[in-house]
Amino acid sequence: MHKTVLNDHTMKAKYGNFINASPGADFRIDDVPESVRDLVPYARFWGISDDGVRLDLVLSAPAELIANLQWVSQLYDDRLDQWLSIIPNDPSDAYIAFSAMRMAALTVN
Protein backbone atom coordinates (compact mmCIF):
# COMPACT_ATOMS: atom_id res chain seq x y z
CA MET A 1 0.00 0.00 0.00
CA HIS A 2 2.88 2.34 0.69
CA LYS A 3 3.35 3.19 -2.99
CA THR A 4 -0.25 3.29 -4.12
CA VAL A 5 -2.48 6.31 -4.64
CA LEU A 6 -5.71 5.37 -2.91
CA ASN A 7 -9.15 6.33 -4.18
CA ASP A 8 -12.24 6.66 -1.97
CA HIS A 9 -13.02 2.95 -2.08
CA THR A 10 -9.48 1.67 -1.51
CA MET A 11 -8.85 4.25 1.20
CA LYS A 12 -11.86 3.05 3.18
CA ALA A 13 -10.72 -0.55 2.76
CA LYS A 14 -7.08 0.11 3.71
CA TYR A 15 -7.84 2.50 6.59
CA GLY A 16 -10.38 0.14 8.16
CA ASN A 17 -11.88 1.54 11.36
CA PHE A 18 -9.33 4.37 11.37
CA ILE A 19 -11.36 5.96 8.54
CA ASN A 20 -13.73 7.17 11.28
CA ALA A 21 -10.96 8.95 13.19
CA SER A 22 -11.06 12.05 10.99
CA PRO A 23 -13.77 14.67 11.26
CA GLY A 24 -13.21 15.18 7.54
CA ALA A 25 -12.68 18.26 5.43
CA ASP A 26 -15.51 19.49 3.25
CA PHE A 27 -14.82 21.34 0.01
CA ARG A 28 -16.00 21.64 -3.56
CA ILE A 29 -14.14 19.40 -6.00
CA ASP A 30 -14.57 22.13 -8.63
CA ASP A 31 -12.13 24.23 -6.55
CA VAL A 32 -9.40 21.57 -6.95
CA PRO A 33 -7.16 21.70 -10.03
CA GLU A 34 -7.44 18.64 -12.27
CA SER A 35 -3.74 17.92 -11.76
CA VAL A 36 -4.26 17.01 -8.08
CA ARG A 37 -7.81 15.66 -8.02
CA ASP A 38 -6.47 12.15 -7.39
CA LEU A 39 -5.63 13.41 -3.91
CA VAL A 40 -9.16 14.46 -2.97
CA PRO A 41 -9.67 11.43 -0.66
CA TYR A 42 -6.44 12.30 1.16
CA ALA A 43 -7.39 15.97 1.52
CA ARG A 44 -10.85 15.05 2.79
CA PHE A 45 -9.32 12.76 5.43
CA TRP A 46 -6.06 14.51 6.41
CA GLY A 47 -6.88 18.11 5.46
CA ILE A 48 -8.14 19.22 8.85
CA SER A 49 -7.58 22.95 9.35
CA ASP A 50 -7.43 22.74 13.16
CA ASP A 51 -3.75 22.14 13.98
CA GLY A 52 -4.45 20.28 17.22
CA VAL A 53 -7.04 17.95 15.74
CA ARG A 54 -4.80 17.26 12.74
CA LEU A 55 -1.80 16.56 14.99
CA ASP A 56 -3.83 14.14 17.12
CA LEU A 57 -4.98 12.38 13.95
CA VAL A 58 -1.43 12.04 12.62
CA LEU A 59 -0.02 10.86 15.94
CA SER A 60 -2.72 8.21 16.28
CA ALA A 61 -2.38 6.95 12.69
CA PRO A 62 -0.79 3.61 11.84
CA ALA A 63 2.72 4.08 10.44
CA GLU A 64 1.82 2.55 7.07
CA LEU A 65 -0.90 5.18 6.53
CA ILE A 66 1.50 8.01 7.30
CA ALA A 67 4.10 6.46 4.98
CA ASN A 68 1.52 6.34 2.20
CA LEU A 69 0.44 9.94 2.82
CA GLN A 70 4.07 11.09 2.75
CA TRP A 71 4.78 9.15 -0.44
CA VAL A 72 1.68 10.52 -2.19
CA SER A 73 2.48 14.07 -1.10
CA GLN A 74 5.99 13.72 -2.46
CA LEU A 75 4.73 12.18 -5.72
CA TYR A 76 2.43 15.17 -6.30
CA ASP A 77 4.76 17.75 -4.75
CA ASP A 78 5.41 19.79 -7.90
CA ARG A 79 1.73 19.86 -8.85
CA LEU A 80 0.74 20.86 -5.33
CA ASP A 81 3.40 23.60 -5.37
CA GLN A 82 1.97 25.01 -8.60
CA TRP A 83 -1.38 25.46 -6.89
CA LEU A 84 -0.55 26.11 -3.26
CA SER A 85 2.55 28.29 -3.54
CA ILE A 86 0.46 31.40 -4.25
CA ILE A 87 -1.73 32.20 -1.27
CA PRO A 88 -5.00 33.76 -2.42
CA ASN A 89 -6.64 36.63 -0.51
CA ASP A 90 -9.66 34.43 0.16
CA PRO A 91 -8.53 30.79 0.01
CA SER A 92 -11.15 28.20 -0.83
CA ASP A 93 -11.99 25.36 1.54
CA ALA A 94 -10.20 23.07 -0.94
CA TYR A 95 -7.04 25.19 -0.82
CA ILE A 96 -7.09 25.07 2.98
CA ALA A 97 -7.71 21.30 3.07
CA PHE A 98 -4.90 20.51 0.64
CA SER A 99 -2.53 22.80 2.54
CA ALA A 100 -3.46 21.07 5.80
CA MET A 101 -3.01 17.67 4.16
CA ARG A 102 0.55 18.66 3.24
CA MET A 103 1.16 19.77 6.81
CA ALA A 104 -0.06 16.36 8.01
CA ALA A 105 2.39 14.69 5.64
CA LEU A 106 5.24 16.72 7.10
CA THR A 107 4.35 15.85 10.69
CA VAL A 108 6.60 13.15 12.09
CA ASN A 109 4.74 10.12 13.40
pLDDT tens column, 11-39: 999 999 999 999 999 999 999 999 999 99
DSSP string, the chain: -TT----HHHHHHHHGGGGGG-------GGGS-GGGGGGHHHHHHH--S-HHHHHHHHHHS-HHHHHHHHHHHHHTHHHHHHHHTS--SS--HHHHHHHHHHHHHHS--
pTM comes to 0.94
- pLDDT tens digits, 44-98: 999 999 999 999 999 999 999 999 999 999 999 999 999 999 888 999 999 999 9
